[in-house]
Amino acid sequence: MIIDVHGHYTTAPKALEDWRNRQIAGIKDPSVMPKASELSISDDALRESIESNQLKKMQERGSDLTIFSPRASFMAHHIGDFQVSSTWAAICNELCYRVSKLFPDNFIGVAMLPQSPGVDPATCIPELEKCIKEYGFVGINLNPDPSGGHWTSPPVSDRHWYPIYEKMVELDIPAMIHVSTSCNACFHTTGAHYLNADTTAFMQCLTSDLFKDFPTLKFLIPHGGGAVPYHWGRFRGLAQELKKPLLKDHLLKNIFFDTCVYHQPGIDLLTNVIPVDNILFASEMIGAVRGIDPETGFYYDDTKRYIEAAKLTPEQRHQIYEGNARRVFPRLDAALKARGK
C-alpha cells in the first residue's frame, strides 16, 4: 500500500475561491460578507474535481491513499480576524471531509486550523476536535507563522503553542508544520517561505527541549525538511555546540520528513542522510511544481519514481510508503485496520 501523506485540495471547484473573495471583500465592507451557507458545491462537482485530477494521477503513478488537507496557500491565516479564519477553516475542512466520504479508499482528512495572528492557539481547538472526532481526520496542519511571512508568533517550542500540543497528545495525532501564502514581498511562497519555514521550525525544536515536555508529540516537516537534510552536518554540529544530545536522540523520535523533493539527487541525499524510519512518502501533487521535467520526461512531483530509483531495500521502501505513515498517524492505522487493511 502506498500512502501519500501530503496532499492538498488545490483543485477545489472555483465556487470556493469566489466565496473566499467575497469573504475578503466583506472584511472591509461587512454588508457584502457572505454566509457560509451561500457556498454550494455539489457532490458531482467535488467528484469531478478529484477524479480528473488527484485520483487520476494517483492511479497513473500507483499510489493508493492520500492524506488530504485544505489548500495550504489558501489558508492565508493573515487575512482578517479569528472569525474570518474560523468560518474559512470550517468550510475548507468540510470539503475535505466530503471528499473523504466520496472516496473513502483514497482520501482521509487532515485539518486546517483557524489560526489568526496574535490570537491564542487554544481558540483552534473546537475546529480541531470536530475534524478529528466527527470527520475522522487523522492529523492537523499547524502554521508556525500565521502572519504570512512576518514571523510575529513565538517559536513552535514556546508555551504559546502548548494548548494545541496537549490536545494533539490527547488525541494521538501528528501535526504537519506548514505555512501558507507569504504576504512579505521578500519571500516567494513556494520557492522561499515554505522551505524557510521547514528549516526554521526544525531549528526551533533543536534549540529547545520541547520534546522533553511532550515525549510523544510528532511533527512532520514537509518539503523534504527544507534545508535540513542537505545541511545535516551543520545541524549535528550546532546541536553539539549547544550541548544537546545527538539529533537522533534529541529530535528524531518526534520529527519526521516527507519526500516532497523534486529531483533524484535530493531524494538520494534524504534517504542517505535521514534514518528511513523518519521519512514518509509524499508528493504534494498538483501543488507548487506542476510541470514535466525536461531532464526526465516525467512530472517533477512524481516523487514515487525517485523513491523507486533510490538505493533502498524493499523493507525500507515499505517503511517509507506505508509503515511510517501508520506509525506517525495512529488514527490512520486504526481507520485502515477497521476496514481490514
Q: Which residues contribute to the site for a copy of itself (CB under 8 A)?
A: 144-145, 149-151, 153-155, 184-188, 190-192, 195-196, 199-200, 203-204, 206-207, 223-224, 226-227, 229-238, 240-241, 261-266, 268-269, 272-273, 288-291, 293-295, 300-301
> Does the annotation count 295 as an active-site position?
no
Instruction: Select 150 or 331, whichever has its Cβ closest to a copy of itself.
Output: 150
Q: How far apart are CB 36 and a copy of itself at their closest, in Å? A: 32
Angle, alpha carbons 167-173-174 (nearest 5°): 105
- From the list 214, 236, 229, the residue with the least C-alpha distance to 261 is 229
Q: How far apart are CB 246 and a copy of itself at their closest, in Å? A: 8
What b/e sequence results for 95-120 when a residue is b if at least 16 CB atoms lie within 10 Å of its CB, and e otherwise?
bbbbbbebbeebbbbbbbbbbbbebe
Instruction: Select 41 or 197, whichever has its Cβ closest to a copy of itself.
Output: 197
Active-site pick, 284, 295, 308, 322: 284
| C-alpha gyration radius of the chain | 19
Quote the CA–CA distance of 17 and 291 in Å, as a whole number. 23
The C-alpha cell at 204 is: 526551533
Distant-in-sequence, close-in-space partners of 105: CB < 8 Å, separation ≥ 6: 64, 65
Q: How far apart are CB 115 and a copy of itself at their closest, in Å? A: 15
Cα dist from 191 to 4, 10, 152, 288, whole Å: 21, 17, 21, 8
Q: How far apart are CB 155 and a copy of itself at their closest, in Å? A: 6
Instruction: Select 74 or 235, whichever has its Cβ closest to a copy of itself.
Output: 235
The catalytic residues are 284
